[in-house]
Structure 1
Amino acid sequence: MKEADYTFTGNQNEGQTFHKQNVHQGRFIITHQQRGQRALMDEEVLVEEAQRWKDQCVICANGKREFDHELYQCPHEESQEAKRWMMTVRSKIKYTQYSGCFRCGMPQSICNSWKTQRQCPYRGFLIPTVAMMMYGCHAGQMKQAWRQRLREFNVDADDQEAVIEFLGQKVEGQGMEHNRLVEMVCWLRGIYQEAERGKIESEGTEVK
């Protein structure tokens, strides 16, 4: 059986150190606000993450189950809310011109299937990844941070249409051409890493 903890690669020391007490209420969010407005990966790291986790089930990985299947095919009850969110966003999102591949949302400098008309190799990464981080084992923390982040852009997290429109918008003047969906995946990644470290620290304390 293929098992693994869902942990993004990258610099584990970047940003502020996560402490388990920061999980509660607003302190968790404040930690991330101090990082600044942008938290983009470079193209190489983004490609590595996409190749590693596209069509893999993060929720099952964290549940120590076989995870070599995409979210859409996951039969477990705890993945159904993530699946519904993914299907809604995937069916409705419209990417601003030149903000990314219109099939998967990845920067056009990474995915050129829009030009070759071949099957998009990254369709199983961005939207499913957001869904599984948002509705997975750290759902409470992730949703709280997501809501706060959207508020910074004057987007109501409860307004699904507004959220989907926001995710498809192009980000100007930030290096590689990309959209808000890419930006949010990169930002959520950092929060997820810290939540995982907090979980490990907490489990270590309990063992002692």
Structure 2
Amino acid sequence: MSRVHDMGGQLPAGRIVMDADEQPFHAEWEARMWGLNEAMWGPDSWTLDWWRYVRELIDPGDYLNRPYFDQWMQTFAAMMVDSGIATVAEIASGKSDGSRPLEASQMHAADVAKAARTTRDFRRPAATAPTFKPGDKVRTRFLSEGFHTRLPAYAMGKVGTIHAYRGNHLFPDAGAKGQEVAQHLYTVSFAAADLWPEGLGRKDNIFADLWESYLERA
């Protein structure tokens, strides 16, 4: 396991507990944190994948034991300090020291819902033809530890089948480094038995959207 966030499908952590009421928030502060999330995408360097990578760096003890939206707060706090937007002391006190002017344009509460409905298109024109087509057998690569990737550890080095081609999309591993690079994206089907020994004899399949550089011919 490369980092604690990549524990899915690897550790015997038991069943996933699902909320019966399926409510998105269970406390007022969680809804407020979600609203802050919608309002805080300012610096060009703050890509979605940079945000994900910073969250992946949270201390394992915090990652496993602190609430989900609390992790969001930690992530944005770290990004603000890293970008020079705020200091640790300012975040701890909740007050600006006045040394940096605030941006003139600020989001108000009424604008949060509108921002949440705004979508981004991560597709990009393709300069090359896709290497694989539906039905091709592929093997996922083993990627080195230490940075962001959307290839889960439990699927590394496994054989699957191209289920569908999804077009040319921004590559998250590069996006976490502030680079805009696009690659062909595929949905890959894996037999559960090829991923976990507990799946032996079952007909379940796992589908994962994976970029071309994650794959090689099996």
TM-score bucket (shorter structure):
under 0.3
Which has the larger strand fraction? 2
Higher alpha-carbon Rg: 2
Which has the larger helix fraction? 1
**With structure 2 as the length reference, what TM-score do the two structures score?**
0.23
Structure with the larger RCO, 1 or 2 (CA within 8 Å, 6+ apart): 1
**With structure 1 as the length reference, what TM-score do the two structures score?**
0.24
